[in-house]
Amino acid sequence: MGAIQKFRRHLWDDNTKRALRDWLNVVFSLRGIWCFIPAILGIFFVYWAEYNAQYLILKEYHEILAICLMGLAVILFLVRSLLFRLEIDYILLTMAVNFLCREIHFVGTDNGVVIVAAIVLVWAIYWKDRLWANIEKAKAVQIALAGTIFTYSLSIIISRRVFSVEYLGGLPDEAIVHVALEEILENIAHLYLICTGILAFFSIPAKKAAKNKFNSTG
């Protein structure tokens, strides 16, 4: 019981509350609220393409695109990890490799991706103060990261058929478009992840990255 209480205190301490409040303030500001728009536009695009240009949403094309995008994300965060040695880059590199393996469809990746994601979640909770220190001043990264998480989450919800008529409903012709919606939203999220890495080069203060690198080697 003592260990559980200690974990709860670590998970929901004053640092966590302050960081979450600051992050939400940025995301739901006029500057940050746009991060939800690409996913919404993606949904409208799928409905338009389904009835006007189905070739644009064919699963096989988007699966190939997904491998290319995640390959690029892996390279991007590998470079950042080697250059700056920031905890946020290690976390995102691990998730990028995890998603790439899933997109390639290696044997066991359907369950493996969930296991790795759970391990990364525990890892992120343990490092939460360090992770926030990495991006505290990087508002653009905070916004892009929020968009990445939101779009991946929406893709997962759609893949679980939560909006089917048997469950919540809410999406017209869900049985017809759910596969395309999942693929398109996944690729939007992959693009968001790449944007997060690119923005990190310009948003995370160089002195913070250099200091972290020095501490790792010292």
The residue range of the domain holding 123 is 32-213
**Is residue 17 pLDDT above 80, yes or no?**
yes
Confidence band of 205 (pLDDT split at 50, 70, 90): confident
> Residue 215: what pLDDT?
55
**Is residue 87 pLDDT above 50, yes or no?**
yes
Structural domains in the chain (count): 1
Looking from the CA of 39 toward its CB, the CA atoms found within 13 Å total 24
Please check whether residue 170 lies inside any domain of the structure: yes
120: tokens are 């990364």
Please check whether residue 19 lies inside any domain of the structure: no
Q: Average pLDDT in the 117-138 region?
A: 95
Please check whether residue 177 lies inside any domain of the structure: yes
Enter the pTM of the model: 0.90
Q: Average pLDDT in the 197-211 region?
A: 76
For the chain, the average pLDDT equals 91
Please check whether residue 166 lies inside any domain of the structure: yes
> Residue 214: what pLDDT?
47
Please check whether residue 20 lies inside any domain of the structure: no
Please check whether residue 22 lies inside any domain of the structure: no
41: tokens are 């536009």
Confidence band of 217 (pLDDT split at 50, 70, 90): very low
Please check whether residue 68 lies inside any domain of the structure: yes
Q: Average pLDDT in the 49-57 region?
A: 96
> Residue 4: what pLDDT?
79
Q: Are 57 and 183 in contact (CB under 8 A)?
A: yes
In this prediction, what percent of the chain has a pLDDT beyond 90? 79
> Residue 173: what pLDDT?
93
Cβ-count burial of 169 within 10 angstroms (0-12 exposed, 13-18 middle, 19+ buried)? exposed
Q: Average pLDDT in the 85-107 region?
A: 93
DSSP 8-state symbol, 218: -
> Residue 110: what pLDDT?
78
> Residue 167: what pLDDT?
84
Residue type for 39, please?
A
CA distance 19 to 125: 13
* pLDDT tens, position by position, 30-44: 999 999 999 999 999
Please check whether residue 15 lies inside any domain of the structure: no
Residue type for 119, please?
I
> Residue 10: what pLDDT?
83
Listed range (65-69, 103-107, 118-122) with the worst mean pLDDT = 103-107
Residue type for 110, please?
D
First to last CA, the chain: 38
Q: At what angle do helices 139-159 and 174-203 cross, to 10 degrees?
A: 160
CA distance 131 to 87: 6
* pLDDT tens, position by position, 178-188: 999 999 999 99
